[in-house]
A and B are shown apart, each in its own frame.
Chain A
Amino acid sequence: MMEKVYSRPAGIFEGAVTGFCPGCMHSSVCKIVCEALDELGQLDNACYVQGVGCCGLAVTYFDMDTIAAPHGRACAIASSFKRCSPETLVFTYQGDGDLAAIGLAETMSAANRGENFTVIFVNNGIYGMTGGQMAPTTLLGAKTTTTPDGRNEKEHGAPMHMCELLNQLDAPAYIARVTAADVPNARKAKAAVKKAFQYQLEGKGFSFVEFVSNCPTNWGMSPLESLDHVHNVVLKEFPLGEFRAK
């Protein structure tokens, strides 16, 4: 009899059909989130607020109560939901267009109030769902469908760094940037997600974990090329680390 050493994490639908593109890191992030919840014994007590964009595809992944948010509003909805259900573990699942562009006010304001929920922020530097437009996090020089000659600072501004921006506020309790681009980093990422959830369970306030992610489809790369690009280029713009752990 062979020993079973790996299986689908609890918290992901049995027979889940992925909507994510081949090689997209979203699948790994969903898996890490579910493993962290499972290890904390919180899978049955978790509700998540789903952003709009590729992150919305998580609705066919996460086997837990889901509150869909209008584009950008996840942090506003998580604020009121958590205050009305303080016993529930609440997280938002958002991409960079959702969280850093249309939802910037909601993100910063919820963080500034120190709302006691967790943000899982998947930053792939592009609008994936809609076909590859420039995001606030798009790297300088990157060609997207709305920056056909590449993003230039003078016209489009420089990439926004959400961890660094949030770190200017007094209230947030935990801020970290991680990636799942390789196995050692994926392990560190899970530890960060667990820590963020633990902060919430202890009532410490706003916790934020940014995943530096990839988008093979809209970056025009193979999955492996996109991971190399994360390591060689993207992480230079978005350095990993724990920015705050109160």
Chain B
Amino acid sequence: MAEKIFMKGCEAVAETAIRAGCRFFAGYPITPQNDVPEYFARRMPQVNGVFIQGESEVASSNMAYGAAAAGVRSMTSSSSCGISLKSEAISWMAGARLPVVIANFQRGGPGIGTIQPAQQDYMQATHASGNGGFRMLVLSPSNLQEAVDMTWEAFELADKYSRPVLLLMDGFTGTMMEPVELPEPLSEEQVAAIRATKTWAARGKHGAPEQHKVMCGPGLDTRISQMGMNIEDDKLYKTWQTAEIDYEDYLTEDAEVIITAYGISGRIAKSAVKILREEGIKAGLIRPRKVYPFPDVAYEKLPLEKLRGIVSAEMSIPAQFATDVERVVHGRTKIVTALSSGGEVLDRATILDAARGLMK
């Protein structure tokens, strides 16, 4: 077993990215994720990678797009209002089918909001990270080991599907420190081999005219059908509904009350489940690890009609994650919410009170 290292979330994500073969990062300063670009600035030169501090969020996300077009594992990160600025390039990555990993260390909103942790970008992350109706796989860790594992997985998935993948973090998971076990780094040969598999990447024709490649949607190129590409995307997204379902199911077998939450709130919810069990309340947890595709099956397989109800917890007011829970449950049991927002920490007591209320 590898050695455990005590690391900050932002740095654990950045180090894992490098170990996963990421050789390009561009970013722009925004709290609470400044440790990400700062870490890459120090580390990239050591692995012959490229770090650029972009002149804006817009530019740095477009730089990540350009590096991906060259076949390099590429990443950018930001927080909430910065992600809004990146949505232009994210949509272009989806349109051009370029694999890029984007990390959002969520803070309060809307607008500049607060610099403290929040989960107020759920709808944006899962439904509309840019124009054009594309979807992304959205991974949301609730602790730093999971952040490490998901960062590695995000690069694998981005390449597997040749699409942008979103790591949905928050100010907590970005700035807290925990012991983590890091994966073995890919060798330079492995990194080069991954790049070499991307035969679609732009590199010049080099005597192979059939290799002429265009990185974009149709635009003004009438040889490409946008509707055809949309249909292909739709088919791909439908495969995710089975292939990419990922959630934690904890003590739900005999549960009367279900707590459901994702990311850092999922961690708070899990501790609430343990306390409720000690009180004699049969509580269980559903925690989506991927929030897109949403794990409908996790709720469908519960005896919904027999439950006392579900507590949906998140750091967003109005609730966003809860709307997906409501969509699946569709009136078959009562749903109550436990919420905070704007940088206010979700209080475990709020979740406990909501669960106890359902038992009355």
Q: Which residues of A contact B (CB under 8 A)?
A: 19, 43-47, 49-50, 52, 56-57, 59-60, 63-70, 73, 76-81, 83-85, 88-89, 105-106, 109, 113
Q: Is the CB of A77 within 8 A of B62?
A: yes
Sample of 11 more A-B contacts, CB < 8 Å, known A47-B203, A85-B70, A88-B202: A65-B203, A65-B212, A65-B213, A65-B214, A67-B202, A77-B65, A81-B67, A83-B50, A84-B71, A89-B204, A105-B56
Selected from B24, B59, B205, B212, the residue in CB contact (under 8 A) with A84 is B24
Contact A83:B52 (CB < 8 A) given known A68-B215, A89-B204: yes
Inter-chain CA distance A45–B205, complex, in Å, is: 6
Shortest CB distance A167–B (Å): 19
Inter-chain CA distance A89–B58, complex, in Å, is: 24
Inter-chain CA distance A146–B55, complex, in Å, is: 30
Q: Can you list 15 A-B pairs with a CB-CB distance of less than 8 A?
A: A44-B207, A52-B219, A56-B219, A59-B214, A63-B209, A65-B215, A68-B96, A70-B88, A83-B50, A83-B52, A84-B50, A88-B202, A88-B203, A106-B59, A109-B59
Shortest CB distance B54–A (Å): 7
Interface flag for B101 (CB, 8 Å): no
Selected from A47, A66, A77, the residue in CB contact (under 8 A) with B63 is A77
Q: Is the CB of B24 within 8 A of A106?
A: no
Q: Is the CB of A80 within 8 A of B221?
A: no
Interface flag for B69 (CB, 8 Å): yes
Q: Which residues of B contact A (CB under 8 A)?
A: 23-24, 26, 50, 52, 54-56, 58-60, 62-67, 69-72, 74, 88-89, 92, 96, 202-207, 209, 211-217, 219-223
Q: Is the CB of B204 within 8 A of A80?
A: no
Residue in A closest to B72 when the chains form the complex, CB atoms: A84
Contact A67:B216 (CB < 8 A) given known A79-B66, A84-B70, A89-B204: yes
Shortest CB distance A86–B (Å): 10
Inter-chain CA distance A79–B53, complex, in Å, is: 11
Residue in A closest to B65 when the chains form the complex, CB atoms: A77
Contact A64:B219 (CB < 8 A) given known A70-B92, A81-B69, A109-B59: no
Selected from B50, B204, B217, the residue in CB contact (under 8 A) with A45 is B204
Shortest CB distance A116–B (Å): 13
Residue in B closest to A53 when the chains form the complex, CB atoms: B220
Inter-chain CA distance A65–B62, complex, in Å, is: 18
Q: Is the CB of B55 within 8 A of A106?
A: yes
Contacts of A70 in B (CB 8 A): 62, 88-89, 92
Inter-chain CA distance A103–B181, complex, in Å, is: 43
Q: Is the CB of B50 within 8 A of A80?
A: yes
Residue in A closest to B221 when the chains form the complex, CB atoms: A59
Inter-chain CA distance A73–B59, complex, in Å, is: 7
Contacts of B212 in A (CB 8 A): 63-65
Contacts of A85 in B (CB 8 A): 70, 202-203
Inter-chain CA distance A103–B222, complex, in Å, is: 25
Contacts of A57 in B (CB 8 A): 220
